[in-house]
Structure 1
Amino acid sequence: MATKTESNPPAKDSKGLSSLNELNLEKSILRRGLATPNEIEACKAHKAKLAAKDECKGLLDIMVEAKVLTKSQSVRLLKEIGETAKKFEIPGYQVLERLGKGSMGVVLKARQTSVDRIVAVKILLDALAQNKEFIKRFDREAKIAAKLSHNNVVNAIDAGEVNGHHFFVMEYVEGGTIKDTLDKKDVFEEKAALTIVLAVAEALKHAHQRGLIHRDIKPENVILTKDGGVKLADLGLARLTADEKWAMSEAGMAIGTPYYISPEQVRGQVDVDIRADIYSLGATLYHMVTGRVPYDGEAAAEVMRKHVDKNTFIVPPDHINTKLSSGLGVVVETMMAKNRENRYRNPDDLILDLKCLLQDESPMLAGQKPDDLATLAEGDVDGFTNRGASEAQLIEIAGYVNGRQHMILALAAILALSVITNVVMITTR
């Protein structure tokens, strides 16, 4: 029997099953051996055809009509699903539907009833909730997320535990990821890619200021919102750089995603810092503008070996996509330098060069030797005037070093005033 369609709530069958519970229904049917995967898929396909005709019918009803299930089996399944659904009830939140599943948890779409807003709720998988170490790691992710509050980061709202389920609530962001676009075989235009990467770099700057590294920058963790915004998501691997105990517990472990992981993460170094995130962001930018990952291979180990191997080099992105500027190529190569001493030292340096590219100017810092970067940081701009820097670039450099310069001048002024005061006191005696 068809039911009335609703514009906002998720679709429900004649027994009141939400789309979230239909997923649980599928699992129960397969676990009990009541139907085969092919039978379930055939019924789901029929359900989709009915929906296209504005006929809303639940999966359970369709399976009974198709004689895949008996009426009595459907009654028992409904009871089981109803009991399971109660376990997902979180006080103050109305679960609407399932958004996806990650390595550690299920993400649900919900309504925060107190303020009537849509949020995303991440729940630790039942299998992992039996392990204290996974619970600790999950809670740590929620606390780390709470340290960040930035327009380019998916912000945390709440966290807790109910009926044995550990959860934390996040800002709900509507949109697709960079990966979604790349999966369509679409390549980003240079300016569009730079604008997105600049936003992520701003998010990394915010995290860096709070002593955090993300450790898993990749296309699927960057959300492109429907209103043109950019949000960095998934802090499941994020770590406090000052937490030496945490770092030592992971010594020797390659933590990250093979296609975008930095060499120091592959080696399992304990002193990983923000430059690892810059490397991964560079690999992401490379993929965005070329349509392919920097290093490929048949196995994860082969890909990670290429990130580390000093004799294996990426093909410059502007050689693959000839529409790209050479400046972008140099910036990506600097971001992805195998020796992190040759990368951008921090997000501020990267942001400076990204802004140059967006203004159709040459990057100021990319390709410079480490000692040149140190010289620039000390305020020696004169040496760069003969390298083609424009007046606007020099103004940008000046702003970059002004903070340190002002401090030095202030200290010098205090010292000079002290000397003058002493001289006056001596001469008046």
Structure 2
Amino acid sequence: MPSRGTGMNRSDIKSSDSKPRPKHPNQRQLSRFINGELSSENQAVMERHLERCTKCARRLEHIDGDTLGERLLEVGTLLNQSVAPGNQAIPESLRNHERYELIECIGAGGMGDVFRARQRSMDRPVAIKVLKQSLFENDRAVARFQNEIRVAAKLNHPNIVHSYDAEVSNGLNILVMELVEGEKLSDVVEREGTLGGDEAKEIAIQIVSGLEYASHQGMIHRDIKPQNIMLLPDGKVKVTDFGLAKLVLAQSEDAAGSLTLEGEVFGTPDYIAPEQIRDSASADFRSDIYGLGCTLYFLLSGTPPFAGMSVGEKLAGHLEHDAPSLIDVAPGLDPGMLAVVEKMMHKNPELRFQSYAELTRAFSGIGNPARKEETIVAQRKRSTGKIFAVIGGPIMVLLALWLFGLIPGMSSSQPLGDLPTGNIKFAIVVPSRFAFHPEIQEISRSLKRYQNVELEYVSDQAGRVKFSSRKKGAKPSVVEVTRTLGELDAADFDALVFTGGWNGDSPDSTLYAFDPKLNDQARDFARSMLANRKPVGSICGGTAVLANAGLLHGKKAASCRYISDAVRDRSGAIWTELPRRDDLAVVVRDDLLVTGGNYVNAPEVVRLMMDLAQESRGSATEENR
């Protein structure tokens, strides 16, 4: 559009690298830019300035008249769009891959097609994503892709789909990933309808756990949406496609031409954060929180926040308009959940949750903590219930015939054996001296969320154990210990957790790690638990007990800043990177072993161990039957 008036000259706006300090455009100039009233030369100058100046970019949101949203109605972007069913043929060039046998297509999306495959050398199932060639049109794209996946491959968390390998094979760029036998949250809602508040919250807490871990490793996702979150049959949740969003973003930045909105926007229109629309490169973990908020909106209402609109209208909605209130689209929703989702979706990142820990606390405060929460596993039984409604009648008839001995080869007199009944029982091993109060407190709080749990504190000697908070003048907590570990029978417990003292792995506190006799007791008890498929866990200095007992040899384990190098070195464990701060500690699960690097990890350690203990109960029931 021709320029009206003098407009702006190159001398009015200088590069942010120039001196003196660059001049910022005024309100009128920004308005004319939005309405396309600048000359093509001045328009390009303005775009370069806005690319570098976040302050001016934010001012665009408050321009009267034709808004940024109006301009976006005409903008083509690199937005990740719909996901199609998996019906693509196996590429001819991959049919005889020397390391992977591709079996069938199981999904297709904006970045490529996903195939079920088998890794020949290890005879294990994997998923292979064949990425679109359009992502690799410049010389640096392949190298960047492999670098991003190397970073993503370091993410080792139960709520993140693991990336194994990336390569160029016969001209195709492929990503080899963990095969997850589950379904996308988008498919769950499409098949079963909206989720209840408790179930959505439990799903969100797992997603937050994975995102927080990735954030501590220096990675953000940039494309959180229901299609990128897998729900497994056992209720666990896994986030997929880490690293790919950044690959596409970087590819767009390398493209020739001016840096316009077309080259800056990446995400999915229904779930993209406002700041990603303005400049994807400036996104941080709060952008993922926004995407998760939109995902929760979808899970609770059945539709994304700005459903039924064009791409441009959706982008304008995220930038300038409030989505329909969940009160209207999801009646009966807990007010606490409503407030959390609204804060997650605030258009200003500074007014969202400022850490994942803060968001987790907000979720924990929703509803009545004393009420027994329905687990995802129980909720998933809705589908099983529908099936049982069809076949339940015949089963009841067969059961009646069996009870009366009318089915050959079966007799009602055959015993079922001792079936696991009653509460899930935890044994919590604490030091008799220097026990760390926050550690014990977090474990206790986490276990109290479940009504079907009993816990018993045990130590190296009976009596009163004081938990120190290390705060001057703070009154220590006290528990009564009636038995030592050597007096317990592993058959009476479903889970075992070791804790450490506040002074780390000092022999003065963590005696079960350093006293030979006590360490033998710990090893024998833990081995008995593991032999019966029962979980064994540890937090912080408690991991030294497992390490010195030889139980971590060849196993993955979470590093603790308070465990000495000597203990780690002689353990033979595969340790995570040592966290720089306590709040950066992580949780690692290796089969039935669950280790947490610090007391902040207690809720996640407890959650994983509860899942494992319940699985163990279920397996024992089936075996006895």
TM-score normalised by the chain length of structure 1: 0.60
Using the TM superposition, give the Cα deviation of residue 218 of structure 1 relative to its aligned residue in structure 2, in angstroms: 0.5
Could you list the per-position Cα deviations for residues 171-194 of structure 1 after superposition, in whole angstroms to 9, with x for gaps in the alignment?
Answer: 000111110022236000111111
Q: Supply the distance in 2 between the matched residues of 1:165 and 1:407 (Cα, whole angstroms).
A: 59
Select 1:332's aligned residue among 306, 324, 341: 341
Q: Supply the distance in 2 between the matched residues of 1:408 and 1:123 (Cα, whole angstroms).
A: 58
Q: Supply the distance in 2 between the matched residues of 1:23 and 1:266 (Cα, whole angstroms).
A: 31
- Equivalent pair of 2:184/2:231 in contact (CA under 8 Å): yes
- For the pair 1:261 / 2:272, whether they are aligned, the reply is yes
- For the pair 1:221 / 2:232, whether they are aligned, the reply is no
In the TM superposition, 1:28-427 aligns within 5 A as 85-126=92-133, 131-184=138-191, 186-235=193-242, 237-239=244-246, 252=261, 253-268=264-279, 270-309=281-320, 312-357=321-366, 359-360=368-369
3-state SS in 2 of match to 1:188: coil
- Equivalent pair of 2:334/2:367 in contact (CA under 8 Å): no
- Equivalent pair of 1:95/1:108 in contact (CA under 8 Å): yes
- Equivalent pair of 1:247/1:271 in contact (CA under 8 Å): no
* Residue identity opposite 1:167 in structure 2: I
* Residue identity opposite 1:228 in structure 2: G
Q: CA RMSD in A?
A: 3.4
Closer, same or farther in 2 for the Cα pair 1:251/1:141, shift >3 Å? farther
Q: Supply the distance in 1 between the matched residues of 2:179 and 2:97 (Cα, whole angstroms).
A: 16
* Residue identity opposite 1:165 in structure 2: L
- Equivalent pair of 1:213/1:273 in contact (CA under 8 Å): yes
Could you list the per-position Cα deviations for residues 290-322 of structure 1 after superposition, in whole angstroms to 9, with x for gaps in the alignment?
Answer: 11221234311111111111xx22333234322
Could you list the per-position Cα deviations for residues 7-31 of structure 1 after superposition, in whole angstroms to 9, with x for gaps in the alignment?
Answer: xxxxxxxxxxxxxxx9549xxxxxx
Matched residues, number = 287
**Alignment correspondent of 2:594:** none
Q: Supply the distance in 2 between the matched residues of 1:333 and 1:97 (Cα, whole angstroms).
A: 41
- Equivalent pair of 2:113/2:129 in contact (CA under 8 Å): yes
* Residue identity opposite 1:154 in structure 2: V
* Residue identity opposite 2:351 in structure 1: N
Closer, same or farther in 2 for the Cα pair 1:87/1:260, shift >3 Å? closer
Could you list the per-position Cα deviations for residues 103-156 of structure 1 after superposition, in whole angstroms to 9, with x for gaps in the alignment?
Answer: 332221111122221100122335655653543454344223213111000001
Could you list the per-position Cα deviations for residues 361-393 of structure 1 after superposition, in whole angstroms to 9, with x for gaps in the alignment?
Answer: 8xxxxxxxxxxxxxxxxxxxxxxxxxxxxxx99
3-state SS in 1 of match to 2:338: helix
Indicate the percent of aligned positions where both proteins have the same amino acid: 35
Using the TM superposition, give the Cα deviation of residue 288 of structure 1 relative to its aligned residue in structure 2, in angstroms: 0.5
Q: Supply the distance in 2 between the matched residues of 1:207 and 1:145 (Cα, whole angstroms).
A: 9
Closer, same or farther in 2 for the Cα pair 1:171/1:113, shift >3 Å? same
* Residue identity opposite 2:225 in structure 1: K
Q: Supply the distance in 1 between the matched residues of 2:201 and 2:142 (Cα, whole angstroms).
A: 37
Could you list the per-position Cα deviations for residues 235-286 of structure 1 after superposition, in whole angstroms to 9, with x for gaps in the alignment?
Answer: 254449xx9x999768841211111111101112542210000011001001
* Residue identity opposite 1:314 in structure 2: A
**Alignment correspondent of 1:37:** none
Q: Supply the distance in 2 between the matched residues of 1:150 and 1:358 (Cα, whole angstroms).
A: 28
Q: Supply the distance in 1 between the matched residues of 2:472 and 2:143 (Cα, whole angstroms).
A: 45
Closer, same or farther in 2 for the Cα pair 1:292/1:406, shift >3 Å? farther
- Equivalent pair of 1:111/1:118 in contact (CA under 8 Å): yes
Closer, same or farther in 2 for the Cα pair 1:228/1:184, shift >3 Å? same
3-state SS in 2 of match to 1:357: coil
Closer, same or farther in 2 for the Cα pair 1:164/1:212, shift >3 Å? same
**Alignment correspondent of 1:46:** none
Q: Supply the distance in 1 between the matched residues of 2:137 and 2:288 (Cα, whole angstroms).
A: 32
TM-score normalised by the chain length of structure 2: 0.42
* Residue identity opposite 2:181 in structure 1: E
- Equivalent pair of 1:262/1:307 in contact (CA under 8 Å): yes
Compare the two structures and name the one with the higher helix fraction. 1
Give the unaligned 5+ runs of structure 1.
Answer: 1-21, 26-83, 362-391, 397-404, 410-429
Using the TM superposition, give the Cα deviation of residue 212 of structure 1 relative to its aligned residue in structure 2, in angstroms: 1.1
Closer, same or farther in 2 for the Cα pair 1:305/1:97, shift >3 Å? same
Q: Supply the distance in 1 between the matched residues of 2:251 and 2:138 (Cα, whole angstroms).
A: 18
- Equivalent pair of 2:224/2:292 in contact (CA under 8 Å): yes
**Alignment correspondent of 2:394:** none
Q: Supply the distance in 2 between the matched residues of 1:111 and 1:155 (Cα, whole angstroms).
A: 16
Q: Supply the distance in 2 between the matched residues of 1:247 and 1:353 (Cα, whole angstroms).
A: 37
Q: Supply the distance in 1 between the matched residues of 2:124 and 2:240 (Cα, whole angstroms).
A: 19
